[in-house]
Amino acid sequence: MMLNAFERIGDMRCGVGESPVWHAIEAALYWTDIPNRMLWRFDPATGRSDHWSLPEMTGSMAMTADGGWLLAMETGLFRIGRLVPGEAPELPRRVATVPHARSDMRFNDGRCDRQGRFWAGTMVQDTALGAADGKLYRFDAASGVLDVHRDAMITPNGLAFSPDGRTMYLSDSHSSRQSVWVFDYDTEAGVPSNGRLFIDMHAYPGRPDGAAIDEDGCYWICGNDAGQVHRFTPDGRLDRSMAVPFAKPAMCAFGGADLDTLFVTSIRTDESDPLSGAVVAMRPGVRGIAEPVLRG
């Protein structure tokens, strides 16, 4: 089944719109524009958009319990306080440095598990190189420990956790991989195991990019290059696809008062197309689950 209804939010056009996060207390959507070193906020109730400049490219972010944010940037993980529309942000405070294998790397996709540990992958910025120097990291803010749990990644993406937290998903978007893996996840220890192929995206439209989970435990993955967002059931069956008005959807997230709106960010590729790089909202007919906040 292909659904097509969408509503554009704001008039911004991001270079690479990524990591949309619905902030339920503020009833607002946040996301990052990676190459433009910018963080965006949109208030659906008022239609107001705000943005803040950042000192480094930020691939992903997570809410913190004190109302601030954890930012996965180029050189490490940083914390920043609550962002107030119309006010300048505080300077990000480094909480972990990442030992990149090369100088041309940054963090990419990331999110918290259900227990509040932050997971994020790193990548070589020039994906045309196909360099498998990326790693998947876990950050425990309570202890301040950043450790590696998977290496040889090219473009890590698609991180998501099942509603009960016992299943972890991870993709590699690179054209030579185009795979989504699933892992058993020890919620107490915060360790994935028994990794196996969940989806071979060579069999479906698009490369696997950012993802979200709905309340039924289904996995929503952006089909980059194909202009679609796909919903897969927990047993790996394609349930439906939704068309989006740009070729490169980057990541999706559930939000809205009832978590029944799917927000989709995109990558700007066509200067003549006003929707290339835009963010849209869709009603997929299912509800998502609240995004966890960073613990510690």
State the pTM of this model.
0.97
Options 209, 214, 260, 273, the catalytic residue: 209
What is the distance between the terminal CA atoms of the chain, rounded to a whole angstrom? 42
Residue 75's contacts (CB-CB under 8 Å, 6 or more residues apart) are: 56, 94, 97, 98, 100
Q: What is the pLDDT along the chain (296 residues), one digit of tens a residue?
A: 334 589 999 999 999 999 999 999 999 999 999 999 999 999 999 999 999 999 999 999 999 999 999 999 999 999 999 999 999 999 999 999 999 999 999 999 999 999 999 999 999 999 999 999 999 999 999 999 999 999 999 999 999 999 999 999 999 999 999 999 999 999 999 999 999 999 999 999 999 999 999 999 999 999 999 999 999 999 999 999 999 999 999 999 999 999 999 999 999 998 889 999 999 999 999 999 999 999 98
Q: Determine the topology of domain 2-282 in CATH.
A: Neuraminidase (2.120.10)
Residue at token pair 């509603």 = 163
CA 45 – CA 267 distance, rounded (Å): 25
Amino acid at 224: N
270 as an active site residue: the answer is no
Structure token digits, residue 224: 């980059």
CA 95 – CA 22 distance, rounded (Å): 23
